[in-house]
Amino acid sequence: MRKISQILHIGIDDTDSRKEMCTTFLAFKIVDYLKKEKVQFLDYPYLIRFNPNIPWKTRGNGAIAIKIKTFNPGKIKKQIINFVKKYSRPQDGANPGLVFYEAEKIPKHFKEFSELALWRLIRRKSATEFVSKNHLECFYMGNGQGLVGAIGTIGYTFDDHTFELISYRKKTQFGKKREISVQSVRNMQEKTFPETFNSYDEEKGKILIAPHGADPVLYGIRGENANSVIYGASLVKTKEKLDGYMVFKSNQGTGAHLKNKFMNSDLKPYTSGTIIGQISKKPVVIRGAHTTFFITKDGHKVRCAIYEPTGLSKIASKLIVGDLVRVGGGIRKASKNHQRILNVEFLEILRLEKNLKLVNPLCHKCHKRMKSKGRNQGFECIRCGDKSSRKKIQYIPRNLEKRLYLPVLSAHRHLTRPMQRVGKKNKQTQFNDTLKWFQVF
């Protein structure tokens, strides 16, 4: 009997520890195996970043999905489980989750689960119940927290996307200093911007493409399409011989975790979203040059914090009572010493209140401030004797603009939408398997 090819969705998360390894590297190894098995790839591998405000997330809170067509799904699944066992680090705190789903279309409830995982805290119990209810094939190690991302990445629906080419080091280089030409990264950004983004921070003089840990990644180039990241990578110079690279379709740089609009009822710890409100108390600059302030929405006060490394603290310190702002970020859980707070990732000023103060009137003849003659007795110029009955209103320049303020590039998170992507959306990209989206050297 002739075999019928099956569509297989593979979702993987939480295989890396904070010390080493990387879920994308596991995906690189799996794709290398799948290429040798002659499967048909139906799209680029997905790299999906979920809620970055989860306290027990992996380094980037990124999950992987691979969508293929194969004549032998059983064999593929067994081998992928072996890969997860080999390239995971549960002894260092990883909690790998692997989910398989065989069907052409992804059901609505997968997508709903994925949308919630972008901005809410999803407990592993919810993931195991989802697996059981939908009779899914899965594998996990540790406490199974990785099942959340594995389900979520299979159900992810792009309303905007970007790409990232990630290059991998040879095993002999793991843990060693990364030798990347800074000038080549600057040149690459100049030649490819805005088709690539967040590669080099001109203000800080710092490259942004390389991680700092002992993981297998040498660098990652983020951009608007597969061609731009492949070309960008070709311009980066390094002394290292690479193990290979792979291009991912991703939600990085889309701000997807901040699509949720906070209601007073869902300002719960670890949630992400945006809120519009009025400044209700003068901002306070605290130790470390961080700024805290309160905004009020529908009679409820929300305490916000902007941290100095973002470069937004000075902007926030200039806000005054009555200013209307939109802020986005994540809710930090209250502790013994600190109340619940919204850690701000961006600030948009929608309306600026006039900053007024009452001052002694100016003498029109002498152009000097008059002196008070006493309570309710008016004012008098001590030079010419000219008089005035009341103080005058003085408008103080705000030195702020009604616009969107983003952190400096080096303080961007994976999901932060950079300024050049504001208002931009990539909705459809045709998968081009003839492109060199995967290479082993």
Task: Report how far residue 209's alpha carbon sits from residue 220's, in angstroms, rounded to the nearest whole number.
Answer: 5
| CATH level 2 (architecture), domain 258-354+397-414 | Beta Barrel (2.40)
Cβ pair 136, 100 in contact under 8 A: yes
pLDDT at residue 20, rounded to an integer = 66
pLDDT at residue 58, rounded to an integer = 60
pLDDT at residue 285, rounded to an integer = 92
Beta strands in 175-323 (DSSP E): 196-197, 200-201, 206-207, 217-223, 242-250, 272-286, 290-297, 300-306
Out of 1.10.287.1080, 1.10.1840.10, 3.90.600.20, 3.40.50.850, the CATH code matching 162-255 is 3.90.600.20
pLDDT at residue 82, rounded to an integer = 95
The residue extents of the domains of the chain are 6-157, 162-255, 258-354+397-414, 356-395
Out of 3.20.20.140, 3.40.1710.10, 3.30.70.2200, 3.40.50.800, the CATH code matching 6-157 is 3.30.70.2200
Q: Is the pTM of this model over 0.95?
A: no
What are the angstrom distances between the C-alpha of 123 and each of 127, 158, 242?
A: 7, 23, 38
Average pLDDT over residues 290-317: 94
Cβ pair 257, 415 in contact under 8 A: yes
pLDDT at residue 382, rounded to an integer = 84
Cβ pair 370, 388 in contact under 8 A: yes
330: enclosing H helix or E strand: strand 324-332
pLDDT digits (tens, 9 = 90+) for 237-250: 999 999 999 999 99
Dig out the tokens for 11 from the structure: 């979702």
Matching fold, domains 6-157 and 162-255: no
Task: Report how far residue 436's alpha carbon sits from residue 123's, in angstroms, rounded to the nearest whole number.
Answer: 38
Cβ pair 118, 166 in contact under 8 A: no
Average pLDDT over residues 67-92: 92
